[in-house]
């Protein structure tokens, strides 16, 4: 059971931009419910954990779906609060599949999920986490919108803002990383992510370099690279990474016929099946790079906890603003549980 005073102080910190006292009270009630209700986190069960008022459920439903508070400001305060306690070594990305019934939820589509071995009706959320090797806390989210969600009828029903367009998952992830870096309030950290499912891997690598991000990324083994010591000889990343130093230094094939200037390094984890990671931090020791890879494992564990204990898959509303506000509340509850007792 969370301490009332401690939780109130946390709510005051992360909801500082909410001007109305009733909004902060509802934020406190929703977090309390997410932290205490076992099993499925419905609005009704969350409300019942906070009060026996017969109108509480309706009030919390309104707080998530239609109350005019901006989730971006809350997430920013959450990131700042979490950084002081977590001291993150990396910013990590996790993609989560949220199964849905019917076709009315915002962003819902049919998708083949390799981990399940079948096609499911779902939403896809992309989360950005602050991570050390032990803990990872979500501080921003994007909802993947497939191309079908360009249709005005779907967007109007789900209240999708006009400036939000369908993008590849990797583009949504890059936007979150850019936004966190531009805020200037957090110390930059390397991006660690698994992009083996990305079709345009080389393009993403070049964009990350252009935007000034350090990174360690798991890449497809068939990514074409050119070893620095063997200019002109193209290899697949899975083969190039096994050559050892100095062959671990590679470039990407040029898109203009000239010589690509950016140098990367390939590192392979010693496990089966082997995973190839590419980084632009070519001077870092191998053990330091593999330590960053462990931050990604911590993110996977956090995503599982969010699904099991914090209601990641339980949002029942259909609107785009409602989805983002719910994910913000869930992230805040998770951060509080993991970090509230950290000085």
Q: What is the pLDDT of residues 240-298, one digit of tens each?
A: 666 554 548 998 887 665 556 789 999 987 776 788 999 999 999 989 999 999 999 99
Nearest to 198 by CA among 178, 174, 228, 168: 168
Identify the bridge partners of residue 278 per DSSP, sorted by sequence position.
217, 266
Predicted confidence at residue 73, as pLDDT, reads 95
pLDDT at residue 233 in the model: 76
Per-residue confidence (pLDDT) for residue 343, from 0 to 100: 62
3 vs 282: which has the higher pLDDT: 282
Confidence of residue 234 (pLDDT cuts 50, 70, 90): confident
Model confidence at 139, in pLDDT bands (50, 70, 90)?
Answer: very high
Would you call 150 helix, strand, or coil by DSSP? helix
DSSP lists the bridge partners of residue 268 as: 276
Q: How far apart, in Å, do the first and last CA atoms of the chain sit?
A: 19
The larger pLDDT score, comparing residue 164 to residue 241, is at 164
Q: Tell me what pLDDT residue 176 has.
A: 96
Range scoring the smallest mean pLDDT among 77-86, 244-253, 310-319: 244-253
Asked if the model's pLDDT at residue 115 lies above 80, the reply is: no
Phi and psi (nearest 5°) for 208? Answer: -60, -40
pTM: 0.93
pLDDT of residue 177: 96
Task: Say if CB 143 and CB 123 are below 8 A apart.
Answer: yes
CB atoms within 10 A of CB 297: 14
Q: Report the percent of the chain where pLDDT is more than 70.
A: 94
Q: Residue 2: is its pLDDT beyond 70?
A: no
Region 311-340 average pLDDT: 94
Indicate the average pLDDT of the chain.
89
**pLDDT classification of 10: cutoffs 50, 70, 90:** very high
Q: What is the pLDDT of residue 248?
A: 81
Which of 19-28, 76-85, 152-161, 260-269 shows the lowest per-residue confidence on average (mean pLDDT)? Answer: 260-269
Looking at the chain, list the stretches that DSSP marks H as alpha helix, in order from N- to C-terminal side: 4-14, 21-36, 43-50, 56-65, 71-86, 152-158, 169-183, 201-210, 237-240, 286-309, 320-339
Mean pLDDT confidence for 93-115:
89
Residue 284 and residue 249 in contact, taking contact as beta carbons nearer than 8 Å: no
Q: Give the per-residue pLDDT at 54.
A: 83
pLDDT score recorded for residue 36: 93
Burial class (CB in 10 A: 0-12, 13-18, 19+), 225: buried
């Amino acid at each position: 059971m969370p301490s009332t005073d401690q939780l109130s102080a946390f709510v005051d910190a992360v909801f500082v931009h909410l001007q109305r006292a009733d909004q902060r009270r509802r934020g406190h009630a929703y977090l309390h419910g997410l932290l205490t209700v076992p099993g499925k986190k419905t609005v009704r069960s969350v409300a019942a954990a906070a009060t026996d008022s017969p109108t509480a459920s309706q009030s919390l439903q309104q707080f998530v779906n239609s109350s005019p508070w901006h989730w971006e400001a809350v997430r920013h305060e959450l990131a700042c609060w979490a950084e002081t306690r977590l001291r993150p070594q990396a910013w990590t990305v996790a993609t989560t599949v949220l199964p849905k019934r019917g076709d009315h939820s915002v962003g819902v589509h049919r998708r083949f999920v390799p981990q399940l071995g079948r096609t499911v009706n779902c939403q896809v959320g992309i989360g950005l986490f602050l991570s050390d090797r032990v803990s990872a806390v979500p501080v921003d989210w994007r909802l993947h919108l497939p191309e079908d969600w360009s249709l005005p009828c779907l967007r109007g029903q789900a209240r999708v803002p006009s400036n939000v367009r369908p993008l590849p998952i990797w583009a949504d992830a890059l936007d979150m990383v850019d936004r966190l870096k531009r805020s200037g309030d957090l110390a930059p950290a390397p991006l660690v992510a698994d992009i083996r499912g990305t079709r345009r891997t080389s393009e993403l690598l070049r964009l990350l370099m252009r935007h000034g991000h350090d990174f360690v990324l798991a890449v497809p083994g068939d990514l074409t690279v050119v070893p620095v010591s063997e200019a002109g000889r193209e290899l697949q990343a899975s083969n190039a990474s096994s050559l050892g130093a100095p062959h671990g230094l590679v470039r990407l094939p040029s898109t203009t016929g000239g010589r690509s200037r950016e140098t990367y390094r390939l590192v392979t984890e010693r496990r089966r099946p082997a995973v190839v990671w590419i980084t632009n931090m070519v001077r870092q020791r191998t053990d330091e790079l593999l330590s960053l890879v462990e931050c990604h494992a911590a993110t996977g564990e956090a995503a599982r906890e969010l699904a099991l204990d914090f209601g990641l898959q339980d949002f029942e509303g259909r609107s785009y603003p409602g989805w983002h506000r719910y994910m913000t509340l869930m992230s805040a509850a998770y951060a509080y549980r993991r970090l509230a007792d950290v000085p």
